[in-house]
Amino acid sequence: MKFLVNPSKFNEMADYLFRPLLILSIILFAIGLLFSFYLSPDDYQQGSTVRIMYVHVPSAWLALLTYTIMTLYSILALAFRIPFGFIFNTAVAPIGAVFTLICIISGSLWGKPMWGTWWVWDARLTSVAILFIIYLIIIFMNLSFENRIVREKVIAIFILVGSVNLPIVKFSVDWWNTLHQPATISKLSKPSIDPSMMAPLIIMTFAFIMIGVAIAILRIKTEIISRKSYLS
């Protein structure tokens, strides 16, 4: 587990992991798209518009997952003085931003037929939009501080302050009985989704995770190299 914390160990693991991960994600994407467009049935209410779910839901999970991992790494970096946390934050912020953007675009595409409007000022949608802007602020912060030490730590503090928004995004559906439907999978009882639709969703989620991790590996390695050249 050392590679999660130590840059040089991470590099070794990264070289070893990157190629298979990329190939696996391409394969998974192919299967996932095939399943979600042709092999899975229409929904009893929404017909074929439900297929947007296979992109919208995984990207939403990934957006939240990235931010939670960034919060963990910020705590590690600030409280336990592990510099790898700062490297991780700078590298992964744009990936999280892209996932949130995919989630918002696919959500509004899905909203048009279902709710009748592209965008509704609704608790879940506003909090995801705030999450997207928080990602953007993290990226802008990366570009606007000269001193590296200050930049890293201020970003870590901002991520921790911004993590207050995470529970709002997660529970906004249950707190306010809003327009966005309650969570489908997270219900402890039998998930209210039919196995034939669950399969593409799972495949697509793993495909998203694989591609996310692959890009993250690339960006973290470049960040480590850029820091080394900066120091020498």
Instruction: Report whether 21 contacts 10 (CB < 8 A).
Output: no
Least separation in angstroms between CB 118 and other proteins: 12
* Cβ atoms < 10 Å from Cβ of 35: 19
Least separation in angstroms between CB 143 and other proteins: 8
Instruction: Report whether 65 contacts 100 (CB < 8 A).
Output: no
Alpha carbon distance 89, 66 (integer Å): 10
Residue with Cβ nearer other proteins (16 or 140)? 140
Instruction: Report whether 156 contacts 93 (CB < 8 A).
Output: no
Least separation in angstroms between CB 24 and other proteins: 27
Output the CA torsion 207→211→212→217 (10° steps): 140
Helix (H, G, I), strand (E, B) or coil at 9: helix
Residue with Cβ nearer other proteins (204 or 214)? 204
Residue with Cβ nearer other proteins (68 or 181)? 181
Amino acid, res. 114 = M
Least separation in angstroms between CB 216 and other proteins: 25
Q: What is the binding site for other proteins (CB under 8 A)?
A: 41-47, 50, 53, 78, 113-117, 120, 122-123, 126, 130, 133-134, 137, 140-141, 143-150, 153-154, 157-158, 160-161, 164, 168, 175-179, 181-184, 187, 192-194, 196-197, 230-231
Token pair listed for 58? 């995984």
Residue with Cβ nearer other proteins (1 or 195)? 195
Token pair listed for 56? 């919208």
Residue with Cβ nearer other proteins (1 or 81)? 81
Alpha carbon distance 141, 184 (integer Å): 36
Least separation in angstroms between CB 30 and other proteins: 23
Least separation in angstroms between CB 189 and other proteins: 11
CA angle, 44 as apex, 40 and 45 as ends, to 5°?
120
216: nearest Cα among 27, 21, 33, 23? 21
Residue with Cβ nearer other proteins (23 or 149)? 149
